Amino acid sequence: MKIGIVCYPTFGGSGVVATELGLELSKRGHEIHFITYKQPVRLELFNNKIHYHEVNVPEYPLFHYQPYELALSSKLVDMVKLYDIELLHVHYAIPHAYAAYMAKKMLEEQNIYIPIVTTLHGTDITLVGNHPHYKPAVTFSINNSDAVTAVSQSLKDDTIRLFNINNTINVIPNFIDLDKFKHDFTECQRVKMAKEDEKIITHISNLRPVKRVQDVVSVFNNIQKEIHAKLMLVGVGPEREKVETQCQELGILDKVIFFGKSNEINKILCFSDLFLLPSETESFGLAALEAMASSVPVISSNTGGIPEVNVQGVSGFLSDVGDVEDMSKNALYILSDENRLAQFKINARKEALKFDLHKIVPQYEAIYKDTLAKF
Ligand code: GMT
Span from the CA of 196 to the centroid of ligand 1 (angstroms): 34
| Res 129: pLDDT | 65
Span from the CA of 343 to the centroid of ligand 1 (angstroms): 28
Nearest in space to 231 (alpha carbons), one of 210, 245, 206, 213: 213
134 exposure class (CB count in 10 Å sphere: 0-12, 13-18, 19+): middle
Q: Which atom of ligand 1 is nearest to the CA of 281?
A: 23
Q: Which atom of ligand 1 is nearest to the CA of 208?
A: 3
Instruction: Return d(Cα 300, Cα 316) in angstroms, integer.
Output: 8
Identify the helix (H) or strand (E) that includes residue 325: helix 324-335
What value of ipTM does the predicted structure carry? 0.97
46 has a pLDDT exceeding 70: no
Please give the single-letter amino acid code of residue 190: R
Numbers of helices and strands, H then E, in the chain? 13, 13
Q: Tell me the residue ranges of DSSP E strands in 243-352.
A: 256-260, 274-277, 298-301, 316-319
169-171 and 256-260 strand pairing = unpaired
Instruction: Return d(Cα 294, Cα 344) in angstroms, integer.
Output: 12
Span from the CA of 16 to the centroid of ligand 1 (angstroms): 10
pLDDT tens for each residue of 171-202:
999 999 998 887 565 556 777 788 888 999 99
197 exposure class (CB count in 10 Å sphere: 0-12, 13-18, 19+): exposed
pLDDT tens for each residue of 96-136:
999 999 999 999 999 999 999 999 998 777 777 677 788 89
Mutation test residue for ligand 1: of 175, 210, 283, the one with most atoms within 8 Å of CB: 283
pLDDT tens for each residue of 223-244:
999 999 999 999 999 999 999 9
CA 46 to chain centre: 21
| Atom 2, ligand 1: residue with shortest CA distance | 12
Span from the CA of 226 to the centroid of ligand 1 (angstroms): 33
Span from the CA of 97 to the centroid of ligand 1 (angstroms): 17
Q: Which atom of ligand 1 is nearest to the CA of 14?
A: 8
Q: Which atom of ligand 1 is nearest to the CA of 155?
A: 22
Q: Do you know the residue count of the chain?
A: 375
Span from the CA of 149 to the centroid of ligand 1 (angstroms): 14
Span from the CA of 262 to the centroid of ligand 1 (angstroms): 17
| Atom 9, ligand 1: residue with shortest CA distance | 13
Instruction: Return d(Cα 14, Cα 262) in angstroms, integer.
Output: 16
Q: How does the average pLDDT of the chain come out, rounded?
A: 93
Mutation test residue for ligand 1: of 6, 90, 123, 310, the one with most atoms within 8 Å of CB: 123
Q: Which atom of ligand 1 is nearest to the CA of 206?
A: 3
- Give the side-chain half-sphere CA count within 13 A for 60: 9
Please give the single-letter amino acid code of residue 152: S
Instruction: Return d(Cα 285, Cα 279) in angstroms, integer.
Output: 9
Q: Collapsing DSSP states into helix, strand and coil, what is residue 169?
A: strand
Span from the CA of 160 to the centroid of ligand 1 (angstroms): 18
135 CB neighbour count, 10 Å cutoff: 14
131 CB neighbour count, 10 Å cutoff: 10
Please give the single-letter amino acid code of residue 187: E
Ligand 1 pocket, Cβ-based, cut-off 6 angstroms = 12-15, 17, 121-123, 126, 151, 174, 206, 208, 210, 281-286
Cis-peptide, bond into residue 95, ω within 30° of zero: yes
pLDDT tens for each residue of 291-347:
999 999 999 999 999 999 999 999 999 999 999 999 999 999 999 999 999 999 999
Q: By the 8 A CB rule, do 197 and 228 touch?
A: yes
Residues 6+ apart with CB under 8 A from 78: none
| Res 44: pLDDT | 65
Q: Which atom of ligand 1 is nearest to the CA of 126?
A: 22
| Atom 4, ligand 1: residue with shortest CA distance | 12
pLDDT tens for each residue of 254-303:
999 998 888 778 888 988 999 999 999 999 999 999 999 999 999 999 99
Domains and CATH numbers, the chain: 2-175+357-374 (3.40.50.2000), 178-355 (3.40.50.2000)
Span from the CA of 122 to the centroid of ligand 1 (angstroms): 6
| Res 140: pLDDT | 95
| Atom 21, ligand 1: residue with shortest CA distance | 282
CA distances from 233 to 165, 174, 283 (A): 38, 23, 21
Instruction: Return d(Cα 32, Cα 47) in angstroms, integer.
Output: 10
